[in-house]
């Protein structure tokens, strides 16, 4: 578990945000000011203990992320990134893939993650894993946007008051969580699971959404199903068996037994 925070497109001090999240990253915090953004990361070191510090830079882009990209080794191998990689961080392959194919790179990730990516193309992104395992919250500012791993960061930094939303409070009491993107604190929103959003003029613009599970196929309408009359696809039945001479049919023996029982005595 790590903590991430940032202020995008507006003047702001990111240190109070990340200091509210040090319990998520006890191994140390790092902050960085970039054109139009201030990013911070509180690290719990798991992968590449020496080289995996963030904000992480590669291929002209920058990322801060919480969680783990499970398929980072496969991405590095499949896209032949070996010589280009400067660290063993699971987040670095994403930066190289983004340089090659832009926002499509987010679709290739498998894991549990919440991240902010500042692209070499000048675009800024927030993304979250499809199951919503790792949290990410946002707060609109005058001319910008703040993000953090927990709402408490905004409260402790003095960016928002602890004013509760009555509707969301009722949801919390009923379900032990709130629904959708709104939270119990007015003005604080969560980035919903699977969402890929671009930050444009300090506001989120959804560019994609990844589903955790594929929706089931709708059942066929009445009359659309047609029985295939070919022997290879005709199902066996005990009353009209078409497979008594087909040894490959898994139910042939039982069908033969059934037909034998129905045979008239000599």
Nearest Cα neighbor of 104 from 127, 72, 82, 77 is 127
What's the rounded Cα separation, in Å, for the pair 189 and 126? Answer: 13
- The SS3 of residue 141 is strand
What's the rounded Cα separation, in Å, for the pair 164 and 182? Answer: 11
What's the rounded Cα separation, in Å, for the pair 142 and 191? Answer: 19
- The SS3 of residue 235 is coil
| Residues 119, 96 contacting (CB under 8 angstroms) | no
Q: H or E stretch including 37?
A: strand 37-42
What's the rounded Cα separation, in Å, for the pair 109 and 8? Answer: 24
What's the rounded Cα separation, in Å, for the pair 184 and 163? Answer: 8
- The SS3 of residue 164 is strand
What's the rounded Cα separation, in Å, for the pair 247 and 67? Answer: 54
What's the rounded Cα separation, in Å, for the pair 197 and 235? Answer: 49
**Alpha-carbon torsion 129, 130, 134, 140, what sign?**
positive
Active site residues: 2
Partners of 138 in beta bridges: 147, 189
- The SS3 of residue 176 is coil
């Amino acid at each position: 578990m790590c903590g991430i925070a940032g202020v995008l497109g507006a003047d702001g001090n990111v240190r109070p945000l990340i200091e509210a999240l040090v319990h998520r990253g006890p191994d140390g915090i790092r902050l960085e000011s970039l054109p139009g953004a201030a990013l911070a990361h509180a690290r719990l070191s798991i992968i590449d203990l020496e080289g995996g510090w963030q904000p992480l830079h590669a291929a002209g882009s920058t990322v801060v992320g919480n969680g783990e990209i499970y398929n980072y080794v496969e991405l590095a191998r499949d896209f032949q990134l070996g010589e280009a990689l400067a660290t063993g961080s699971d987040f670095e392959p994403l930066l190289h893939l983004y340089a090659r194919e832009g926002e499509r790179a987010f679709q290739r990730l498998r894991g549990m993650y919440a991240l902010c990516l500042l692209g070499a193309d000048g675009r800024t992104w927030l993304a979250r894993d499809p199951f919503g395992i790792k949290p990410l919250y946002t707060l609109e500012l005058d001319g910008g946007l703040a993000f953090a791993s927990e709402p408490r960061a905004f409260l402790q930094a003095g960016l928002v008051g602890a004013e509760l939303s009555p509707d969301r409070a009722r949801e919390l009491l009923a379900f032990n969580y709130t629904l959708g993107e709104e939270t119990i604190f007015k003005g604080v929103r969560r980035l919903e699971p699977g969402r890929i959003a671009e930050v444009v003029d300090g506001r989120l613009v959804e560019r994609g959404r990844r589903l955790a599970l594929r929706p089931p196929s709708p059942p066929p309408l009445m009359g659309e199903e047609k029985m295939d009359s070919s022997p290879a696809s005709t199902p066996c039945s005990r009353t009209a068996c078409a497979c008594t001479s087909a040894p490959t049919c898994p139910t042939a023996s039982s069908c033969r037994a059934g037909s034998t029982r129905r045979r008239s005595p000599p």
